[in-house]
């Protein structure tokens, strides 16, 4: 077979592209995923609220409702198979007055239509299950099936599992042009030329620009930025549920939620922005603080680690765009995947891969293994088993990141897996080294040394994230890279 011929090429290594790759690997098929960054999960899939929404909110009979509800049901099992942190912590959508009460009761009707369990609860019960709340919080819609997941770990795990099952990944390669030639698509990147029978456009914020290379897009992405405040994991019981505000005419307010590592996030804002703008600013952060104080009074801002932002791929149509092009059959758009895209990702991956299976008449891959090799950590194994591990491999006893308790053994393992870490940020996303209070001040240099040693590259060429972000050239001289 021609070297650069693939049955399927997926453009974009976010959670949607990587999920499609993972589910496609259930079949005998030759697939390449192309991602322009040095790693997967570098854009929207790395900076969001990380909520596995229950599915009460999307309008009934929309793609959002269908994929959200299905994805929520699949998520626990998927995270077990892939060893990704997931917690079903439940969400509370809080009402403050009679108007909100009406909205919450309407949302409960909508939940019923979507086939989602949602319960209306009054103040006494509300404050019993979430004691951190302000006294002004009067009612709530309780969605017990809502959960939280680590979005970048999920994306990476999808890709690693896809690669374990035979899918190929090209990183640091940007798709520049797409043409149709008979039954095949011709794809030009900044590195090579490819042919494919089917192309999946999972390019997130850039999905309209990718489609434009082939045909006039029927949608446009109008990016909207969401800024956040991140608190340290100071107390696992401070806020147990994901707290949403009741949506009003002026918007959805902000949320407070634990993360799977028991940090807490406050946000997001919702403002027009450029696609690549992930900056944060003090006026937006002050707005978040003021709004969040309606939910919980004395938020311990002394625990703030950092602020961050993600950009929504907001389409000018009111639903996910998951469909094959009518003009160019074989070109499948997975575009405008805003929230609840993360929650929907396993269901979208399964659906799109089944579509391609039918189209290309694919056979089952009888060697497909849905399980990713376990990642050993002190928190997952517990002290006794971890001590056993140290006896077998002493590198697991050499703690590199003291804030998040990440060992040399874990870092070496993360580098040598499929879709392995090759940068400081790559290690951070996989293991949380550098995610803690000191933000890498103590461990970053050690992490660089391990990357250089394991990849057999000079220390001064170790990258923070993308090419051109050499840590020893920029970061330690005071020019800090973003994210
Ligand atoms: C503020 C905010 C909060 C959110 N909260 C939630 C939530 O709580 N729950 C939830 O379910 N969803 C949430 N979402 C939505 C969720 O994050 C997205 O639905 C999901 O991450 C979209 O994934 P994606 O793969 O489509 O896009 P991306 O993650 O952006 O991936 C697209 C990839 O395509 C690559 N690419 C683009 N152009 C090219 C090219 N020319 N060549 C090669 N590669 C290219 C990009 O580099 C990128 O890696 C939130 C989003 C935001 C911004």
* DSSP string for residues in 176-244: EEEEEETTEEEEEESS-EEEEEEEEE--GGGHHHHHHTTS--S--B--EEEEEEEE----TTS--SEEE
Structure token pair of residue 403? 């804030």
Q: Which residues line ligand 1 (CB under 6 A)?
A: 11-17, 34-37, 42-45, 48-51, 53, 174-175, 202-206, 210, 226, 268, 310-312, 337-343
**Gap from CA of 41 to ligand 1 centroid (Å):** 8
Query: What is the number of the ligand 1 atom nearest to the C-alpha of 342?
Result: 11
Atom of ligand 1 nearest to the CA of 45: 21
User: Which residues of the chain are modeled with pLDDT < 70?
Assistant: 1, 250, 474-483
- Of 207, 208, 204, 225, nearest to 217 (Cα)? 208
Per-residue pLDDT at 483? 45
Strand order of the β-sheet with 51-52 is 51-52, 147-149, 86-87
Distance CA 332, CA 264 (A): 37
Backbone phi and psi for residue 210, each to the nearest 5 degrees, phi listed first: -65, -45
Cα 317 vs. chain centroid, distance in angstroms? 22
Distances (CA, A) of 173 to 39, 40, 169, 434, 445: 10, 12, 10, 27, 28
How many other CB atoms are there within 10 angstroms of residue 177's CB atom? Answer: 12
The helix/strand/coil state of 149 is strand
**Other CB atoms within 10 Å distance of the CB of residue 445:** 17
Closest residue (by CA) to atom 1 of ligand 1?
226
Give the largest CA-CA distance in the chain: 68
Q: Return the best residue to mutate from 20, 37, 49, 199 for the ligand 1 pocket (most ligand atoms within 8 A of CB).
A: 49
Supply the pLDDT for residue 476.
57
Q: Please tell me the distance from the alpha carbon of residue 76 to that of residue 71, in angstroms, as a whole number.
A: 9
Verify whether residue 83 is a known catalytic residue.
no
Q: Give the length of the chain.
A: 483
- Ligand 1 midpoint to CA 161 (Å): 19
For residue 166, what pLDDT is reported? 98
Q: Which residues pair with 315 in a beta bridge?
A: 221
Task: Using alpha carbons, list the distances in angstroms from residue 300 to 130, 239, 436.
Answer: 17, 12, 16
**3-state secondary structure (DSSP) of residue 355:** helix
């Amino acid at each position: 077979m021609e070297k650069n011929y693939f049955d399927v090429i997926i453009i974009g290594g976010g959670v949607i592209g990587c999920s499609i790759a993972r589910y496609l690997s259930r079949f005998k098929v030759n697939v390449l995923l192309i991602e322009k960054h040095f790693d997967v999960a570098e854009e929207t899939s790395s900076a969001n609220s990380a909520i596995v929404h229950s599915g009460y909110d999307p309008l009934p009979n929309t793609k959002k409702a269908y994929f959200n509800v299905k994805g929520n049901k699949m998520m626990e099992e998927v995270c077990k198979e892939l060893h990704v942190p997931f917690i079903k912590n439940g969400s509370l959508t809080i009402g403050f007055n009679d108007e909100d009460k009406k909205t919450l009761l309407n949302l409960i009707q909508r939940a019923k239509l979507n086939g989602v369990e949602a319960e209306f609860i009054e103040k006494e019960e509300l404050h019993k299950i979430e004691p951190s709340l302000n006294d002004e919080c009067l009612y709530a819609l309780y969605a017990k099936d809502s959960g939280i997941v680590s979005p970048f770990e999920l994306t990476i795990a999808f890709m690693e599992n896809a690669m374990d099952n035979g899918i190929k990944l090209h990183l640091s390669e940007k798709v520049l042009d797409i043409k149709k030639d008979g039954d095949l698509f011709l794809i030009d990147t900044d590195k090579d030329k490819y042919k494919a029978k089917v192309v999946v456009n999972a390019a997130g914020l850039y999905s309209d620009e990718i489609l434009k290379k082939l045909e006039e897009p029927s949608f446009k992405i109008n990016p909207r930025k969401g800024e956040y405040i991140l608190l340290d994991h100071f107390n696992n019981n401070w806020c147990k549920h994901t707290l949403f505000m009741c949506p009003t005419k002026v918007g959805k307010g902000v949320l407070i939620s634990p993360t799977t590592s028991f940090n807490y996030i406050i946000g997001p804002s919702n403002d027009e922005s450029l696609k690549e703008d992930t900056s944060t600013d003090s006026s937006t952060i002050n707005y978040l603080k003021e709004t969040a104080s309606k939910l919980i009074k004395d938020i311990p801002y002394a625990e703030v680690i950092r602020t961050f932002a993600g950009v929504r791929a907001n389409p000018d149509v009111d639903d996910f765009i998951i469909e094959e092009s009518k003009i160019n059959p074989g070109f499948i758009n997975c575009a405008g995947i805003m929230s609840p895209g993360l929650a929907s990702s396993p269901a979208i991956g399964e659906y799109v891969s089944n579509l391609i299976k039918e189209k290309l008449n694919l056979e089952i891959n009888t060697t497909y293994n849905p399980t990713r090799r376990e990642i050993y950590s002190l928190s997952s194994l517990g002290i006794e088993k971890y001590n056993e591990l140290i006896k077998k491999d002493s590198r697991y006893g050499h703690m590199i990141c003291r804030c998040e308790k990440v060992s040399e053994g874990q870092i070496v393992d993360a580098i040598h897996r499929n879709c392995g870490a090759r940068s400081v940020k790559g290690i951070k996303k996989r293991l949380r080294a550098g995610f803690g209070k000191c933000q890498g001040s103590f461990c970053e240099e050690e992490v660089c040394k391990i990357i250089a040693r394991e990849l057999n590259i000079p220390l001064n060429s170790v990258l923070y994230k993308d090419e051109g972000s050499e840590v020893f050239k920029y970061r330690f001289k005071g020019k800090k890279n973003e994210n």
